[in-house]
């Protein structure tokens, strides 16, 4: 079998735990938070009350969509991971394994957008590697690693959710997956859903950053006292990310299904592509685990800053994961790790959608 468990994308929790987790090199006491499934960042004790947060992610390169779109995804998905600490990134390294079909002009456009985005966010590019690789025609063009230094007691990770915490979701589900599909198949989406829906879905792409809400949450609530954990939503969508967060924290959860946020244009696009919006790529949404009783204070501040946010449930001491439907019926939630986005994308491509 070519792919692990015949699955593309991020490896499953089983592969991570069985093949990777117990083979992570030397054990060093400075590593406060090391490798764990569903954990966005590593935390390394630097002494003197300071710590280093480190996070890595793949880079996107999608010439058919645009170099600016590719750069935006590459930078902001990296930023999203490390912003779950409650701090902004300071430094970044890039490893670029580029296809030989990429022209120097295209590369120049891509890199200039990356440079400008990093400059605007005060992130220093400190090095890496750049090369063209024969046979590399993937939309993944390498990887990046971001770093920041901050007071150790103020940093948080996605593994610190506590039983009884309220679960807050910002923005909405399936924001990035539906925006990318509306960009990739504009004619079909316009014809099937209408011009306004297609335009609104595309505009959602520029909302994929969660840095603002990450920083605002850490400013509004006391990190590690009121704000316990954050996790950005990527592969697996809102519920996949929540599943990861619960496993990493040793908790279960209950969620009210009808409170999971989704807008009209997103709903129409997911119906067209037959996607489950709550387990589809959802960059742009952030999950926050906060002390019960502090959620209203945080939601109020987020909304004042133009960031929609809603409480959808709570983490629990029991390890059960439960979805509560509109009728109050409790249904167990289980996620196989398979995000339906790529299957929908390639199905549309093979069907000749434009």
- 93 in the same domain as 41: yes
In the chain, how many domains are there? 2
Query: Is 42 in contact with 160 (CB distance < 8 Å)?
Result: no
Query: Is 231 in contact with 158 (CB distance < 8 Å)?
Result: yes
**pTM score, two decimals?**
0.93
159: in domain: no
Give pLDDT tens digits for 250-294: 999 999 999 999 999 999 999 999 999 999 999 999 999 999 999
Is the confidence at residue 5, as pLDDT, over 60?
no
Give pLDDT tens digits for 238-250: 999 999 999 999 9
C-alpha dist (Å) from residue 248 to 13, 53, 80: 11, 17, 18
Question: Which SS3 state, helix, strand or coil, does residue 292 take?
Answer: coil
CB atoms near residue 287 (< 10 Å)? 24
CB atoms near residue 104 (< 10 Å)? 7
Measured in whole angstroms, the distance separating CA 112 from the mean position of its chain's CA atoms is 24
| Calpha distance 159→120 (Å, rounded) | 30
Six token digits for residue 257: 């299904």
pLDDT more than 90, % of the chain: 83
Half-sphere exposure of 58 (CA within 13 A, CB side): 14
161: in domain: no
Q: Which pLDDT belongs to residue 6?
A: 47
- 191 in the same domain as 89: no
- 72 in the same domain as 203: no
CB atoms near residue 165 (< 10 Å)? 26
- 183 in the same domain as 273: yes
Q: Which pLDDT belongs to residue 284?
A: 96
Is the confidence at residue 166, as pLDDT, over 60?
yes
- 173 in the same domain as 150: no
- 177 in the same domain as 130: no
- 232 in the same domain as 102: no
Question: Which of 301, 230, 303 is closest to 80 using CA atoms?
Answer: 230
5: left (phi over 0), alpha (psi -120 to 50) or beta: left
Give pLDDT tens digits for 205-239: 999 999 999 999 999 999 999 999 999 999 899 99
203: in domain: yes
**Considering only 84-88, 132-136, 161-165, 220-224, which range has the smallest mean pLDDT?**
132-136
Q: Which pLDDT belongs to residue 7?
A: 57
1 pLDDT tier (thresholds 50, 70, 90):
very low
Q: Which pLDDT belongs to residue 63?
A: 81
**Considering only 27-36, 169-178, 183-192, which range has the smallest mean pLDDT?**
27-36
160: in domain: no
- 305 in the same domain as 174: yes
Q: Which pLDDT belongs to residue 24?
A: 85
Q: Residues 6 or more apart from 213 whose CB is under 8 A from it?
A: 170, 286, 288, 302, 305, 307, 309
Q: Which pLDDT belongs to residue 263?
A: 95
- 43 in the same domain as 189: no
Give pLDDT tens digits for 66-115: 899 999 999 999 999 999 999 999 999 999 999 999 999 999 999 999 99
| Calpha distance 173→252 (Å, rounded) | 20
Question: Which SS3 state, helix, strand or coil, does residue 158 take?
Answer: coil
DSSP state of 25: S
Range of the domain at 283: 166-350
């Amino acid at each position: 079998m070519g792919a692990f468990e015949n699955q593309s994308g991020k490896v499953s929790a089983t592969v991570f735990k069985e093949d990777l987790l117990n083979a992570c090199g030397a054990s060093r006491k400075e590593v406060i938070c090391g490798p764990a499934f569903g954990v966005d960042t590593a935390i390394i004790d630097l002494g003197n009350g300071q710590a280093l947060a480190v996070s890595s992610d793949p880079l996107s390169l999608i010439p058919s969509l645009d170099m600016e779109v590719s750069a935006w995804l590459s930078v902001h998905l990296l930023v999203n991971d490390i912003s779950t600490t409650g701090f902004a990134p300071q430094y970044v390294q890039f490893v670029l394994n580029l296809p030989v079909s990429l022209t120097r002009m295209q590369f120049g456009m891509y890199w200039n957008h990356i440079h400008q985005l990093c400059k605007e966010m005060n992130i220093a590019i400190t090095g890496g590697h750049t090369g063209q690789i024969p046979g590399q025609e993937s939309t993944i063009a390498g990887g990046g690693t971001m770093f920041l230094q901050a007071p150790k007691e103020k940093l948080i990770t996605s593994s610190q959710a506590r039983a009884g915490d309220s679960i807050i979701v910002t923005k909405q589900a399936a924001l990035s997956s539906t925006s990318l599909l509306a960009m990739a198949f504009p004619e079909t989406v316009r014809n099937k859903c209408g011009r306004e829906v297609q335009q609104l879905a595309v505009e959602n792409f520029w909302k994929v950053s969660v840095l603002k809400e990450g920083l605002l949450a850490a400013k509004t609530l006391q990190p590690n006292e009121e704000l316990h954990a954050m996790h950005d939503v990527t592969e697996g969508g809102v519920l996949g990310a929540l599943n990861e967060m619960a496993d990493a924290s040793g908790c279960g959860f209950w969620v009210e299904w009808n409170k999971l946020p989704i807008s009209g244009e997103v709903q129409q696009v997911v119906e067209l592509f037959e996607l489950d919006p709550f387990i589809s790529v959802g960059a742009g949404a952030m999950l926050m685990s906060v002390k019960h009783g502090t959620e209203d204070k945080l939601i109020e501040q987020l909304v004042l800053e133009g960031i929609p946010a809603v409480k959808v449930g709570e983490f629990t001491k029991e390890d059960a994961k439960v979805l509560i439907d509109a009728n109050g019926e409790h249904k167990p939630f289980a996620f196989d790790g398979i995000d339906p986005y790529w299957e929908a994308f390639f199905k549309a491509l093979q069907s000749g959608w434009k």
